[in-house]
Amino acid sequence: MEDLLREATERAIRYHAGLNARGVAPSSEAVNNLMRFRERFPQQPSDPQIVLTLLDEVGSPATMSSAGGRFFGFVTGGSLPAALAANWLAGAWDQNAFSFASSPAAVVLEEVALGWLIDALALPPECGGAFVTGATMANFTSLAAARNAVLGRFGWDVEAEGLFGAPEVKVVVGAEAHPTLLKALGMLGLGRKRLTTVPVDGQGRMRADALPALSKSEPTVVCIQAGNVNTGAFDPAVEVCAVAREAGAWVHVDGAFGLWAAASPGRAHLASGVAEADSWATDAHKWLNVPYDSGLAIVRHPESLRAAMSISAAYLPEGEVREPMQYTPEASRRARGVEVWAALRSLGREGLADLIERNCGYAARFAGGFKAAGYEVLNEVNLNQVLVSFGDEEATRRVVAQVQAEGACWCGGTVWQGRAAMRVSVSSWATTEEDVGRSMEAILRVASREAGKK
């Protein structure tokens, strides 16, 4: 065990040291080489050393360098040193974080991390929460609590009785809701399509003036967004929460990455009103920069979350300690709270704010550079997302493909309200001034070469 762990460490250090020198996307040669994994299931055991060597030699070159500073795809984030190190140690611990009995350390760290998060994100102190795999499951978990509460008010126990025969639940979403939110609604039997959809403005924000009438006589859940995955824009939480409160509706916030704006004094205004909601979904593997997978469901009314997620009222009654399995969809699970704790413990309030600010500042630099070079930035860059067009759809697609192929950085393509764009998402602690300069230079060089071509 000892030699193997040491070797794994050395290989990981070498991998990290090499990130700056390699292309951000893996070479096609490295991807083709993955065929070496497609062998027949071995009959005989192998030395773990051989397994590790194969993994590093074939696997490492075929990874995306999302741990480095020049990956701007999707909305991801890297892994902070303290979080990665904690992940390794927690791997060695091999804890099952389902209960205090199975892992006191995992449970206490989760509880502390959850408290710090609620504090850092300026959410109500009475909130409960659950550590889940990502924002998709955080949306699911929060909305299960919502379903319990809004139907409970009409005397319906949805966990016991299901949805057949239940009062209809009205679900309101913005036209730009993230597809995973719709998936979560589908998994909960609330339907992906039987929704009241609110039109949005040019930034993808729900139009407050177009909110439907809400009624106290109908169980209602309103889903808003803090951070549109393309523009970074926030739905008008102040207005929505006021209307919803009046009607006794539950407001859920998908804040996968945008909720972190609340942790920075310079950006907190973007999230104003968000804390008035009833539940929030966010990702720690995005802007907090912890390893995958790590999402959080935070709920103002912990009893609704518990009612939705507990295996049964009789099973492991809640005692002095918070039993994670009473709040999560899973029973057995890894101790992902350990990394969240380590990230927050190492950053502190100021370090977290600085991470958010630095990324937003770099996004503004990208936007300024694109505009100065004569390209159109399609979104208001207030957060970490930049959408840029390099002319028509063809030209923009060519620039995206060529930037990815060149490898100095990696940005994805997207379509924003019918227009092709390159999306630059700055969400990693590892990104430096130099990374931004080098990436900017590469993108503009490719653009001036490709954008004019037909």
Ligand X SMILES: *Cc1c(COP(=O)(O)O)cnc(C)c1O
Q: Cβ of residue 58: shortest distance to ligand X, in angstroms?
A: 26
Asked if 180 touches ligand X (CB under 6 A), the answer is yes
| Angle 64-67-71 from CA coordinates, rounded to 5° | 65
Region from 92-100, 103-111, 129-137, 372-380 binding ligand X, contact rule CB under 6 A: 129-137
Fill in the per-residue mask, 207 to 226: x = in contact with ligand X (CB under 6 A), - = not in contact. ------------------x-
Rg of the chain (C-alpha set): 23
Asked if 235 touches ligand X (CB under 6 A), the answer is no
Asked if 428 touches ligand X (CB under 6 A), the answer is no
Q: Is the separation of the CB atoms in 139 and 307 below 8 Å?
A: no
For tokens 């609330």, name the residue. Answer: 190
Q: How far is CA 111 from CA 129, 238, 432, in A?
A: 9, 29, 33
Asked if 295 touches ligand X (CB under 6 A), the answer is yes
Asked if 66 touches ligand X (CB under 6 A), the answer is no
Provide the token pair at 418: 């019918």
Asked if 129 touches ligand X (CB under 6 A), the answer is no
Q: Cβ of residue 172: shortest distance to ligand X, in angstroms?
A: 17
- Residue 52 and residue 30: Cα distance in Å, rounded? 17
Provide the token pair at 184: 């979560």
DSSP 94-117: T--TT-TTT-HHHHHHHHHHHHHH
- Backbone phi and psi for residue 325, each to the nearest 5 degrees, phi listed first: -65, -15
Q: Cβ of residue 29: shortest distance to ligand X, in angstroms?
A: 29
Q: Cβ of residue 36: shortest distance to ligand X, in angstroms?
A: 29
Q: Cβ of residue 270: shortest distance to ligand X, in angstroms?
A: 14
- Residue 446 and residue 400: Cα distance in Å, rounded? 9
Identity of the residue, 103 or 180, whose beta carbon is nearer to ligand X in the bound complex = 180
Q: Cβ of residue 255: shortest distance to ligand X, in angstroms?
A: 7
Provide the token pair at 209: 């003036």
Amino acid letter, 307? A
Given 222, 241, 244, 256, the residue binding ligand X (CB under 6 A)? 256
Identity of the residue, 100 or 257, whose beta carbon is nearer to ligand X in the bound complex = 257
Identity of the residue, 288 or 451, whose beta carbon is nearer to ligand X in the bound complex = 288
Given 135, 185, 284, 386, the residue binding ligand X (CB under 6 A)? 135
Asked if 227 touches ligand X (CB under 6 A), the answer is yes
Identity of the residue, 313 or 415, whose beta carbon is nearer to ligand X in the bound complex = 415
Q: Cβ of residue 256: shortest distance to ligand X, in angstroms?
A: 3
End-to-end C-alpha distance for the chain, whole angstroms: 58
Identity of the residue, 283 or 435, whose beta carbon is nearer to ligand X in the bound complex = 283
Beta strands in 36-141 (DSSP E): 128-132
DSSP 151-203: HHTTT--HHHH-STTPPPPEEEEETT--HHHHHHHHHTTS-SSS-EEEPB-TT
Q: Is 22 left (phi over 0), alpha (psi -120 to 50) or beta?
A: beta
Q: Cβ of residue 284: shortest distance to ligand X, in angstroms?
A: 9
Q: Is the separation of the CB atoms in 124 and 363 below 8 Å?
A: no
Chain residue whose CB lies nearest ligand X: 134
Question: Hey, which residues between 273 and 292 contact ligand X (CB under 6 A)?
Answer: 283
Identity of the residue, 176 or 435, whose beta carbon is nearer to ligand X in the bound complex = 176
Region from 62-70, 130-138, 310-318, 341-349 binding ligand X, contact rule CB under 6 A: 130-138
Q: Is the separation of the CB atoms in 195 and 154 below 8 Å?
A: no
- Residue 234 and residue 385: Cα distance in Å, rounded? 12
Asked if 423 touches ligand X (CB under 6 A), the answer is no
Identity of the residue, 283 or 323, whose beta carbon is nearer to ligand X in the bound complex = 283
Asked if 134 touches ligand X (CB under 6 A), the answer is yes
Region from 85-93, 95-103, 128-136, 411-419 binding ligand X, contact rule CB under 6 A: 128-136
Say whether 419 sits in a helix, a strand or coil.
strand
302-309 and 135-152 helices, crossing angle to 10°: 100
Given 86, 114, 229, 420, the residue binding ligand X (CB under 6 A)? 229
Q: Cβ of residue 159: shortest distance to ligand X, in angstroms?
A: 24
DSSP state of 339: H
Question: 392: Cβ–Cβ under 8 A, 6 or more apart, which residues?
Answer: 420
Identity of the residue, 256 or 263, whose beta carbon is nearer to ligand X in the bound complex = 256
Q: Cβ of residue 226: shortest distance to ligand X, in angstroms?
A: 8
- Which residues contribute to the site for ligand X (CB under 6 A)? 75, 134-136, 178, 180, 225, 227, 229, 254, 256-257, 283, 295
